[in-house]
Amino acid sequence: MGLGEALAILSALAWSAGVIIYKHLGETIAPVRLNLMKNLLVLGFLLPSLAFFGGPPPQLSTAELAITLLSGMLGIAVADSMYLTALNRLGAGRMGILGNFYSPFVILLSFLFLGERLGPLQLLGFALVTSGVLVVSARSSGEPAERRELRRGLLLGVGAIALMAVAIVLVKRVLETQPLIWMVALRMLGGIGGLLLIFALKRELPWPGHAERAKIRWPVVLVGALVGQYLSMLLWLGGYKYTSASVAAILNETTSIFIVILAAVFLHEALTRRKVLGVALTIAGVTCMLLA
């Protein structure tokens, strides 16, 4: 297993844990505010990381710096806020299903703008991973939800996934040649700046009011920021740095399977034979990708 492939899979695991944590936090914290809180905490984690492991600042041109900050604004400020909103409306299961759109978006954009291609074994892996997540998601359509709320959640979720794909393909070439932790930090600055701009445009204070602060479970917010954002983002960008965007995106699809397993362990959801089959198909697909 290459370094990029290993990082991509570990990123999926960390993000899956974050999704379950964010679902709980979303019951008491507004999505955009939760997004800002966790990213400010991540920035706090990044500062000592830069001091000890970051090395000298990257030598970026004006265009490369602008691309990096724009990637953070799109992928963190806008896409993550949309994702958290959709997560509140659809639940973790459906959002895991919508995540299946991520690799097709990245593969299409990588084909158009990065000139990447997939070999036969990688295409087989993509088909197996897609089959696995579709099998896992087959019964989720029967969960009760208001039709209008469901449509809005689906649109927000698909839009969030599409923007995440645009953001990572946009910064892929810059990421390949620059220090990883510095790129994470610069994207985070772009994301926080974008979130503050959103609050300014909405004419709202970025900080929660007294009543909202009283309901916040700060230890859970801290763990969510550390695992679901700091670790997952380092691993996620590392995957794209050390392997092709198409391969990293397909391996990121294992998020759906991790969500199923974590939901069974921590939320006591039933692990049915259909879900087990989906896990087996996805593991087979990941194996094909790693062999390729």
Q: What tens digit of pLDDT does each residue of 38-88 get?
A: 999 999 999 998 988 888 889 999 999 999 999 999 999 999 999 999 988
Question: What mean pLDDT comes out for the span 278-292?
Answer: 77
Whether 292 contacts 4, CB under 8 Å = no
> What integer pLDDT is reported at residue 126 of this predicted model?
78
pLDDT at 144 over 60: no
The answer, yes or no, to whether residue 138 has pLDDT greater than 70, is no
Please determine, for residue 266, whether its predicted confidence score (pLDDT) is greater than 60.
Answer: yes
Comparing CA positions, the residue from 126, 104, 119, 107 lying closest to residue 285 is 126
CB 196 within 8 A of CB 202: no
Answer for the pair 1, 290: CB distance below 8 angstroms, yes or no. yes
| Average of per-residue pLDDT across 23-32 | 87
Count of alpha carbons within 13 angstroms of residue 80, beta-carbon side:
31
Residue 263 — very low, low, confident or very high, per pLDDT cuts 50/70/90?
confident
Instruction: Report whether pLDDT(219) > 70.
Output: yes
Residue for token pair 């990121």: 252
174 CB-side CA count, 13 A:
24
Q: What is the pTM of this model?
A: 0.82
Stretch 271-283: mean pLDDT:
78
Check residue 132 and give its pLDDT. 75
DSSP per-residue letters across 40-74: HHHHHHHHHHIIIII-SPP---HHHHHHHHHHHII
Q: What is the pLDDT of residue 212?
A: 74
Whole-number Å distance between alpha carbons of 50 and 126: 35
